[in-house]
Structure formats: C-alpha cells, structure tokens
Amino acid sequence: MDHATADVLYGFGMAKVCVFCGGTPLTKEHVLPRWLKVALDPRVQRHRYIRLSVDAVRHHDAPPLNEQVKVVCSDCNSGWMNQLEENVRYFLPDLIRGNLCTLDAEAQRALAAWSLKTMLMFQHTHPADARGVIPAGDFTSFHETCEPTRSMLGRLGFMNYPPDDAVPLVDTQCQGYSADGVRRTAWITTLKIGCMVVQIIRAPDVAAGKRLAPFDFLPSLRPIWPTNELIEWPLPAAIPYEMMPALAHPDDLDLTIVPA
Ligand SMILES: [Zn+2]
C-alpha cells in the first residue's frame, strides 16, 4: 500500500471552534508536517500510536504523514503554529535521522514547543469520548505563550533508527495522572520519530515561588525544558525500544519541586 497518497482526516467529535483561541473558520492541519518526509526512510513505514489514560488504553496504527485534524482556525494554523514549524525545520531532520548536530538553548526551546504542539494535535486524532488526558485549559495556555509552561518539563532521548518495521518509526503516547485520585491533573506525552524521543511532562500546577527541578543528565536523555546546556547529537547512549513503556507511562511522575 502506498502511504504517500491519501490523507486521513480525523473528524471524531470535530470541534466547532479553534481548540486554541476559539476562532473560526477551522482549517485542516497535518499532525506531522509533510516536510518531514525528507527525514524518513521510505522503507520503514510502521506508525504505532498508542494513547493511554488513567482508566483506558486505546491505540491505532496509521501512516505517519497522512493524518490530519480539523480543530484549529486559519489564523492559528498559518500564524504561530506555522512559525513553530519554521523554528525546528533546520534541525529536526537531523534529530530524526541521528545525524551530527548541536542544539543550543534556543533550538531546545523550539523543539519543546513544537513537540507540545504536535502532541496536542495528536490528541485530536482520537474520538472525543476517548480524549481528556490533556485538558482544554492546557491548549489555551499554550496559545498564550506558544511555549510549555513552568509546570512542565521537557527532555530529549535518543533511540537507534529502526532498521525495519520491527520497531515503529513514529510512536506517540500520552499518559494521564490524577493527583487526588479523581481529576486528571498531570500527564506525560512521548513523541518518538526515528531516533528522536521528546517527552513533555505536565505536573500539577506549581505554586508561586516554587519550580520543578529539571531532569538529571543521562547518557541517553537530556533536559530541553528548562535548559541552558548544549546538546551534542546523537547522544552517547541509545534507549532500547523495549524501554518505551517504562519511559512513556511510569507508575508515578517522580518530580521534585524546589524553591524558585
Ligand atoms: Zn485559533
């Protein structure tokens, strides 16, 4: 089957107004941009997409670059969302293919923002009744700053490029957590494309005067939000794909809150 031909538009419980700003008219948005085609080995096609929540596990398989959602307005789509694409375009193919490159703080901020946007769009490829891991308020707050918030952490991991379809080329996962046992107040998204694994972790709101302690440096994982350190890519160690479940949906968030 030629995955490069037909687009798949997800219309499950389609939003009437933009999920970011409430505006109209709504436009179609590719969840992963077409320009990423240059970074993907055409021999590896498998796209596994699993979404988890506290009470349900749902997943679907789909070709990587054909998924579209119709949940954002034309102003958002052609404005700040397009700018987030432009901000990562010069280095994202190298991250995905595991080519040598250096990410400075600006590139890491851009990567964290692009990854969050992409995962917010992926959430809308699911039926409305299966959504809810990422609450509506996190979409509107993202629209205000076009960046992750201070209640979020981001990190970048390295996996070897899949040699064949034994390992998915694209794998996205989202796990919700409830701090009080009822409301979902926290989540982890994991976006793997080729060699690149980006995680955005949303903690319960961090009080004023406090902040989240960044993740430790590891041979296969580096903080990207917040960050000041250069990242030399590829990282010196690869995370085995078998570690994906432990990485993407750990039993608890294991976050540390420190004075700001
Ligand atoms: Zn909008």
Residue with tokens 């972790």: 201
pLDDT at 48: 62
pLDDT at 5: 41
Provide the 10 A C-beta neighbour count for residue 243. 14
**Is the link from the previous residue into 204 a cis peptide, with omega within 30 of 0?**
no
CA of 147 to the centre of ligand 1 (A): 15
CA of 126 to the centre of ligand 1 (A): 20
CA of 42 to the centre of ligand 1 (A): 33
pLDDT at 55: 53
CA of 14 to the centre of ligand 1 (A): 14
pLDDT at 103: 98
CA of 76 to the centre of ligand 1 (A): 4
CA of 81 to the centre of ligand 1 (A): 9
- pLDDT tens digits in sequence order for the chain, 260 residues long: 333 345 666 654 556 899 999 999 999 988 888 888 888 877 766 666 555 554 556 666 667 777 888 999 999 999 999 999 999 999 999 999 999 999 999 999 999 999 999 999 988 877 665 556 788 899 999 999 999 999 999 999 999 998 877 888 888 888 888 766 666 678 999 999 999 999 999 999 999 999 999 888 899 999 999 988 999 999 999 999 999 989 998 888 888 999 98
CA of 122 to the centre of ligand 1 (A): 16
For residue 138 the two structure tokens come to: 């996190």
- Determine the residue type at 59: H
Q: Cα dihedral sign for 207, 134, 238, 87?
A: negative
CA of 80 to the centre of ligand 1 (A): 9
In the chain, the N- to C-terminal Cα span, in Å, equals 53
CA distance 145 to 137: 13
Of 104, 62, 87, 76, whose CA–CA distance to 20 is shortest? 76
CA of 168 to the centre of ligand 1 (A): 32
CA of 201 to the centre of ligand 1 (A): 24
The alpha carbon of 22 is separated from its chain's Cα centroid by a whole number of angstroms, namely 22
CA of 44 to the centre of ligand 1 (A): 34
CA of 49 to the centre of ligand 1 (A): 25
Q: Which residues surround ligand 1, an ion (CB under 5 A)?
A: 18, 20-21, 23, 73, 76
